Copies of this chain bind each other. A is one copy, B any other.
């Protein structure tokens, strides 16, 4: 069973949510209406020692990097909605290899990034006694309801676009150093270019598939156009490795030319990697129409593997 399957079944068991829950579970963030009319976005994510970070060996990460990564993953979820981060809470269960000094440096890394994005740590819980260290974080942000970017807004004929590069995030250290695409996502939301958006945590094909399933569209992917991280990265790695934390988004045909012209983030590659078509049974195909993946799991999934 994949995490998506489990969560989908789980959320179906709940009673009908209140009307103010504008964005129910199943997007990068849930969103509920504030008393005053804007949307509060909220999401949670975690890192597990030995899975999302290693303590020793060639790919070892410092405690600062682990704390930074945990917050950055969550900021990426706020970005994927076109939101602005406000607050976070973090619970840490320390494993046998880590102590209060490790925890202190872990929060150094987290707070450095928090300051950069004006995000305030407002709560959490600390415990010892875990076998391996597990740290979770909940992020709270805000968005304008009429501009929030969901997975479900893509339309027939929309172009499919990506920021940045893909593949080999773990061996290159990108997963520890990436900058969440908050500024880019907010610009896309404010300028009204994107019709649907998601961030890539589990892999380009998996996350594109999630957007396709939510929007009821199929993706015809221009495989050769997918920008790879460095020359040593294979196409397979670019499509499936995950932890890229880039944005995938759909753009209505009539806005695509203007997007290419007006994109103000000159240092960050922006690439059109395919096209979307309304489909009763969404899937991902190459440009010739051969199936690449179903629209949804399986693939890299922290829960199923």
Contacts and interface: CB of A to CB of B under 8 A. Distances in A.
Give the size category of A's interface with B.
35 or more
A17 B104 CA distance: 20
A10 B121 contact: yes
A20 B183 CA distance: 23
Nearest to A129: B51
Contacts of A15: 115, 120
Interface string A122-160: 111111111110101010100000000000000000000
- Taking each of A10, A21, A25, A136, which has the highest tally of chain B beta carbons within 10 Å of its own beta carbon? A136
Interface in A109-125: 111, 114-115, 120-125
Contacts of A17: 120, 122
A103 B90 CA distance: 22
Contacts of A115: 14-15
A42 interface: yes
A178 interface: no
Contacts of A271: none
Interface string A23-58: 011000110101111101011111011111000000
Contact of A35 (B36, B111, B305): B36
Contacts of A265: none
A299 interface: no
Contact of A130 (B25, B34, B42, B48): B48
Contacts of A298: none
Given A3-B126, A132-B131, A121 B37 contact: no
A100 B46 contact: no
Contacts of A30: 87, 89, 122-123
A29 B130 contact: no
Contacts of A38: 35
Contacts of A11: 121
Nearest to A142: B35
